[in-house]
Amino acid sequence: MSESVITLRGVRADLGSRPVLRGIDLTVHRGEVVALLGANGSGKSTAIRTIIGQVPVSAGQIELFGTPRGRFRDWARVGYVPQRTTAAGGVPATVTEIVSSGRLSRARFGMLRKADHEAVRRALELVGMADRAKDSVNALSGGQHQRVLIARALAAEPELLIMDEPMAGVDLASQEVLARTLKDQVAQGTTVLLVLHELGPLEPLIDRAVVLRDGCVQHDGPPPRAVGQHALPGHDHVHPHSPDHEPMRTGLLS
């Protein structure tokens, strides 16, 4: 197998006194597209946030490009798309200003040169938002906002993309743009780890699915095919997730 880009070994993490990850093993190889699936509260977002260092781990090891995460400094190789809710400031900002932040990992002392501004413009073109470059992000729809956040991650021209629910609350037109953008990135050899609630329009891109349940890996292998009604195009997947119910019913494991 080729070089591993992300490695998690026996990773445990707690939020308060509650264990959220209870010994996760996960490897993502170069060029792979891996989907992290699971019900709400299964720990998939927490797993991603331990990889980027936002949530501390209580046990286990994490490696990025073969380097222990604590000593990893080459952040320009990583593009991150957080859940959309985290990126709202109290001051207006234009699309270009937001996307330029993504280029800081390649800029020295925060100085953006001509090549950096060009990279920002290219990233905006990739997601079809170049014509909105000077607009305030507050004027955008949810799907357009998500495209801006993906452009921000792409501005650094990363080798690895980590995305947390990139399709959540995104209109159909934006979903298509995002799927196409992601397909182009994958074709260029970008490695992708993404949290998804369901495979949806990204299904053909996904090489492997890792399903979490209660902070443990329950399935690691080819993406389970949707069956029956779940496989119909445009099937809208809405169902409640309460701890008392069957925790997973995404049609992925049946």
Partner 1 sequence: MDFLDYAFMQRALLAAVLVGITAPAVGIYLVQRRQALMGDGIGHVALTGVGLGFLLSWSPVWMATLVSVLGAVLMELIRWYGKTRGDIALAMLFYGGMAGGVLLINLAPGGSNANLTSYLFGSLSTVSQSDVTAICVLAAFVVLVTLGLRRQLFAVSQDEEFARVTGLPVRALNLLTAVTAAVTVTVAMRVVGLLLVSALMVVPVAAAQQLTRSFAATFAIAVAIGVTVTTGGTVTSYYQDVPPGATIVLLTIGAFIVLTGLATPLARRRARAAAAAQPAPDPAECAIPASRQADGPVGV
71 counts as binding partner 1 under rule CB under 8 A: no
Measured in whole angstroms, the distance separating CA 10 from the mean position of its chain's CA atoms is 21
80 counts as binding partner 1 under rule CB under 8 A: yes
When the beta carbons of 65 and 75 are compared against partner 1, the nearer one is: 75
Helix, strand, coil shares of the chain, percent, nearest 5, are 35, 25, 40
Interacting residue with partner 1 among 69, 112, 203, 247 (CB under 8 A): 112
176 to 40, 64, 144: CA distances (angstroms): 24, 30, 12
206 to 7, 39, 47, 152, 222: CA distances (angstroms): 18, 18, 19, 22, 8
Q: Output the smallest distance, CB 114 to partner 1, in A.
A: 16
65 counts as binding partner 1 under rule CB under 8 A: no
Query: Mutual orientation of helices 142-154 and 172-187 as an angle, nearest 10°?
Result: 20
The order of strands in the sheet holding 18-29 is: 18-29, 4-15, 59-64, 67-68
Interacting residue with partner 1 among 14, 30, 31, 93 (CB under 8 A): 93
When the beta carbons of 119 and 248 are compared against partner 1, the nearer one is: 119
Interacting residue with partner 1 among 100, 146, 190, 250 (CB under 8 A): 100
Provide the binding-site residues for partner 1, judged by CB under 8 A. Answer: 49, 52-54, 73-76, 78-80, 82, 86-87, 89-94, 97-98, 100-102, 104-105, 107, 110, 112, 134-136, 139, 152, 156, 162
